[in-house]
Amino acid sequence: MMSIFNIESKVALVTGGNRGVGKAIALAFADAGVNVIIVSRSGNAGEVVKEVTDRGVKCVSIQHDIGDINRVDELVDKAYSTFGKVDILVNNAGVQRRSPSVEFSEEDWDFVHQVNTKAVFFLCQAFGKKMLEVNEGKIINLASLLSFQGGFTVPAYAASKGAVAQLTKSLSNEWASQGVNVNAVAPGYIATDMNEALINDEKRSKEILGRIPAGRWGKPEDIAGAVVFLATPAANYIHGEILVVDGGWMGR
């Protein structure tokens, strides 16, 4: 009997898959027997590609700026010309800008929303259209604790991640009956480059750790496991869910 967790030979496209949480997701898919397409703005993913292929699956890297909405179709064409399909889309790439709200610039606001909100929608639209044609597919967006909370000095990021959560639910309402699962994972405080400022702030880091029941910052691998789960048949009846992976933060 086929395991409800079996996703061998599927194809997953991971944006921002060259480092941090995205890299962990790519490697976790590889461990599950999934072929991987890594999308990154820098295209500097050679080491990750090797780590993925060393696990016995196929992997390619595509250099692409997801913030350039006019090139979405180009990315779809490249992905499908490589493997002939994309079974799983993971919208992981995201950006952050920190500043007191009274000083937050329009330039930073637009940049954050271009990548975190607009790009996510149009990638969902483009790849979702392909998935709807075959009545099968998994889309997993990366939300955040700030999909639920406001945070400090990150108004654009909080607004963008609130939008990701609502977008996930909206698309799920339309596509669930057509075989496409749209869900999101909301990471808690994860030890990555994006949170380096918080980690290095001794007072704030202590406050954060004091609220996390698990007693530690999360690791990228903690998020990868949740993403892979949502991509498996075990999650076929999960639609429009925002799965919080936060060490218990939201339960306090």
- Candidates 62, 110, 115; CA nearest to 91 is 115
Helix axes of 72-83 and 119-134: crossing angle, nearest 10 degrees = 40
Contact of 112 with 160, CB cutoff 8 Å: yes
108-136 in b/e burial notation, b at 16+ Cβ within 10 A? bbeebbbbbbbbbbebbebbbebbeeeee
Cα–Cα distance, 209 to 206 (Å, whole number):
5
- Candidates 185, 177, 178, 90; CA nearest to 138 is 90
Cα–Cα distance, 47 to 242 (Å, whole number):
31
Looking up tokens 């009846």 gives: 237
At residue 89, the 3 state secondary structure works out as: strand
- Candidates 164, 68, 73; CA nearest to 116 is 164
Specify whether 80 is catalytic: no
Strands (E), the chain: 11-15, 35-40, 59-63, 88-91, 137-142, 180-187, 242-245
Catalytic residues: 157
